[in-house]
Structure 1
Amino acid sequence: MPLTRIALRAGKPVEYRKALTESIQRSLVDTFNVPKDDIFVLITEHEDGNFIYDKQYLNIERSDDFVVIQLTVSNTRTLEQKKALYKRMVDELAESPGLRREDVFINLVEVLKENWSFGNGIAQYAV
């Protein structure tokens, strides 16, 4: 179960944000074997003064369409799956909504399976 946080500059239309969400979810389904209906997404939009990043860090030329995607996931994926996710996600986002690969920043936060409760005060994944 990933918890997806998307941060971007304010002003994009709802269709753009929907396309971001759908492309990210397709990537998770295809590379991390996430069920299609396992979708929990938080989108935050930031004004210019509250969205600060280096436009050339590691010699990657970023534009004002820069997007930060942070995924909190269970620590059950291999390095190969993570690499596949990163590639698939930039490919999907390039297709829809047309985001440049250079403008996609992805961060995984891995947690133990017992650190999730989906409701009712129960740790559903705890073994």
Structure 2
Amino acid sequence: MPSTRVETRAGWIGDRHEALIAAIQNALVEGIRIPVEDRDIRINEYPAHAFAPPASKGPGYSIIEISMFTGRSVEAKRRLYAALVREFVAFGVPARDVKVVVHDVPRENWGLGGKSAVDIELGFAVEV
């Protein structure tokens, strides 16, 4: 049940938002083995004057922040990073322009429908 936010400079995505969301979801499914229907992805695009990437980065430089339950293995995270980069490269974003930050959140610090996530049967394994 990850919550994923992509921040990038406006312009390079064009009319491909749905395709990019699908690509990110594919990477999450592959990397951390979430169910296909478990989707929570937001794309935030900023005008050039409001997004200041490092000088060495191109126009598609993107920061992907993923908040997810603690428990995924280092290997699962490696799969996720590789899959995300592969998906962004398909959109013309070089691998060096993709930054991924994972926030591991204990289930007791995640509320869903007024309940703690520790009190909810998720329907999938977190420890992958």
Which residue type is aligned with residue 14 of structure 2?
Answer: P
- For residues 92 and 60 of structure 2, the distance between their equivalents in structure 1, rounded to whole angstroms, comes to 10
- The CA RMSD over aligned residues, in Å, is 1.6
Look up the match of 2:48.
48
* TM-score, normalised relative to structure 1: 0.84
Question: Please, which runs of 5 or more residues in structure 1 have no aligned partner?
Answer: 57-61
Alignment of 1:83-122 (within 5 A): 83-95=78-90, 97-119=91-113, 121-122=114-115
Shift of 1:116: 2.0
- For residues 112 and 94 of structure 2, the distance between their equivalents in structure 1, rounded to whole angstroms, comes to 34
Look up the match of 1:82.
77
Number of aligned positions between the proteins = 119
Which residue type is aligned with residue 77 of structure 2?
Answer: K
- For residues 100 and 45 of structure 1, the distance between their equivalents in structure 2, rounded to whole angstroms, comes to 18
* TM-score, normalised relative to structure 2: 0.83
- For residues 55 and 23 of structure 1, the distance between their equivalents in structure 2, rounded to whole angstroms, comes to 27
Which residue type is aligned with residue 104 of structure 2?
Answer: E
Question: Please, which runs of 5 or more residues in structure 2 have no aligned partner?
Answer: 121-128
- For residues 74 and 33 of structure 1, the distance between their equivalents in structure 2, rounded to whole angstroms, comes to 13
Q: Alpha-carbon deviations, 1:70-114, whole Å to 9, x = none? A: 00011111111111111111112222x232212111110110012
- For residues 103 and 14 of structure 2, the distance between their equivalents in structure 1, rounded to whole angstroms, comes to 28
Equivalent position SS for 1:14: coil
Look up the match of 1:59.
none
Which residue type is aligned with residue 106 of structure 1?
Answer: V
- For residues 116 and 45 of structure 1, the distance between their equivalents in structure 2, rounded to whole angstroms, comes to 26
